Amino acid sequence: MPAEIFLKASAEKEFRRLPREIQRRFAKAFETLAEEPTRARPGLDIKPLRGVRAAWRLRVGDYRGIYEVEADKVRFTRFGHRSNVYEV
């Protein structure tokens, strides 16, 4: 059963500010991500974040989506350019 994809309210605002093409690429990646959110494969560049428990990053070009996996749910907490998405 595919995982459900959720966006935290603040992440949804950040997502809407991304360029349209990047939004489309993220949306396509969400479909693949829902199948297995912790396994990288062609077309899906993901890695666990170092120093942050249970957090992962999804790379789409120069943009990143930070997410957490809980049971059958994937919750995105941040979206942004690689230069500033990791800042707290």
CATH number at residue 8: 3.30.2310.20
CA 88 – CA 44 distance, rounded (Å): 25
Q: Classify residue 76: in a domain, yes or no.
A: yes
Whether the predicted pLDDT of 88 surpasses 80: no
pLDDT score recorded for residue 79 = 98
Q: How many domains does the chain have?
A: 1
Long-range interactions of 79-83: CB distance < 8 A, separation 24+: 79/11, 79/14, 79/15, 79/18, 79/26, 80/14
pTM of the model: 0.92
19-66 tens-digit pLDDT: 999 999 999 999 999 999 999 999 899 999 998 888 999 999 999 999
> What pLDDT shows up at residue 17?
97
Segments forming the whole domain that contains residue 51: 4-81
Over range 72-87, report the average pLDDT: 94
User: What pLDDT is attached to residue 43?
Assistant: 85
Indicate the pLDDT class of residue 87, thresholds 50, 70 and 90: confident
Instruction: Establish if 87 belongs to a structural domain.
Output: no
